[in-house]
Amino acid sequence: MKIEEFVSGTYKQQYQYQSFSPSKVNHQWVWENGTINTLLEDANRKLGAFDAFTTYIPDIEIYIKMHITKEATKSSMIEGTKTEIDDAVRKESEISPEKKDDWQEVQNYIEAMNKALDSLKQLPLSTRILKDMHRILMKGVRGEHKNPGEYRTSQNWIGGATLTDAAFIPPVHSEINELMGDLEKFIHNEDIQVPVLIKAAVAHYQFETIHPFLDGNGRIGRLLIILMLVDKGMLQRPALYLSDYFERHRSLYIENLTKAREFNKLDQWIKFFLTGIVVTSDKGIETFRAILKLKEEIEGKRIINLGKRVPNARKLVRYLFKNPIVSANELKESLHVTVPTANSLIADFERLAILRERTGWKRNREFEFTEYLKLFK
C-alpha cells in the first residue's frame, strides 16, 4: 500500500446515522514522500540517541517513575483531566475530594503501563494486554461502568451530544474483533518491511479510528505507542513522554488524525507523529541532562558539608528523585529513621534550598523538591 494512495475506509449506513468502517492496515507500506524519509531518519537517530543516553545513567530506574507519571498526566490531560504532575505524585490521602477522580485516572494510567510492561516480558503485545490495560484504566473512575476490559457491544461516537450530531462515528461493534485482529497481525507481521516508527504511527491512527472501547480509547491508543517502541526494542525503558507533545499541540494532534480519516491524509499524520518523536527525544535528553546536573550539584556542593548526616542525606536525595513530595512521617518509614532525624534532615534540606514547605500548616506539613518538579512542568 502506497501511503500517498491510502484510502481510509468507507461510510456505512446504519439506522439514522452513518458509521465509518476503516480499511485494514496489515500490508506492506511504501511511500514516495521525501519528507517522510528525512523525518524518519531524524526520528530514528534522535530516538536511538535518547535510548542510548538512558542506558548510561547510573540508577536510571530512580528517574523512570517521574517520566511515567509525566506521560500519564499529559495523556490524561488530553482527555480533559486537570491533574498536574505535582498533584499526581502525592498520596491519595493528601488529595482534596474535588480532585480525587482526576488523580485516580492518572494513577490508573501509571498502573496500566507498569502492568503492561511486566506482561511484555512473557507475552507479545496483544489485544489481551490492551484489554488488561483498559480494565485497570477504568477501575474506580468515571468509566468504570463502561465495560472495563472488554470491547464495546454498542455504538460510540466522538464529539456532539448524540449520534445525530456526532463529529465522528467509529465502526459498528460487530466489526471490532476483525479490525483489531488485523491490527494485531500488522504489529507483529515480520514478513512486511515497515519501519517500527511508521508501524507505530499507523497503529495509533488505526486504533483511534476503530475506537474499540466505550471509554478510554485515547489513553490506551497512546499507551500502545510506548508499548510498541519497548516491544520492538526501540526503547529499553518507557522514559519517552510523547503525550506531552500531543497535549501541547492538541488541536494539531486531533486535526491530523481527522484529516487521515476524512481526506486520506495519512502522510500528514505520519509527518506529525515523526516530528513528535524528534522533539520529544531531544527534550528527553535535555531533561535527563538537567536531572544529572541537579543531582551532581546537590550531592557535590549542597549536602557535602552536613558531616555525619551525609549518609542519610544521600539516601534522602535518592528518595526525592522518585518521590519529590514528602512528609516527615513518610521519611521515617521509608528511610528507617526516627522522627527527630527525619525532621532534622528536612530542616537541613530546607536550609540548603532543596526542599520547600508547601502547605503553610504547622502540622501534617508537606515538602516538595521544587527544582526537580520544575523539570517536568
22 with 152, same domain: the answer is yes
Nearest residue to 109 via CA among 61, 74, 160: 74
Residue type, 141: V
User: Given this model, what pLDDT does residue 219 score?
Assistant: 95
Nearest residue to 239 via CA among 280, 203, 278: 280
Phi, psi of 322 (to 5 degrees): -100, -30
Print the domain residue range for 9: 3-283
CATH of residue 307's domain is: 1.10.10.10
Task: Give tens-digit pLDDT for 181-198.
Answer: 999 999 999 999 999 999
Domain boundary among 227, 251, 283: 283
225 with 361, same domain: the answer is no
279 with 307, same domain: the answer is no
35 with 87, same domain: the answer is yes
DSSP readout, 271-310? HHHHHHHHHHHHHHHHHHHHHHHHHHHIIIIISTTSGGGH
Query: Burial level of 373, CB count in 10 A (0-12/13-18/19+)?
Result: middle
267 with 187, same domain: the answer is yes
pTM of the entire predicted model: 0.93
Domain boundary among 220, 253, 283: 283
Domains in the chain: how many in total?
A: 2
In a domain, 311, yes or no: yes
Asked if 369 and 320 count as a contact pair (C-beta separation under 8 A), the reply is: yes
User: Given this model, what pLDDT does residue 264 score?
Assistant: 97
Task: Give tens-digit pLDDT for 7-27.
Answer: 999 999 998 899 999 999 999
Query: Burial level of 98, CB count in 10 A (0-12/13-18/19+)?
Result: exposed
Instruction: State mean pLDDT over 106-115.
Output: 94
Query: Cα 328–346–86 angle (5° rounding)?
Result: 75
Compute CA distances 376 → 61, 98, 109, 238, 245, whole Å: 16, 24, 17, 15, 13
79 with 129, same domain: the answer is yes
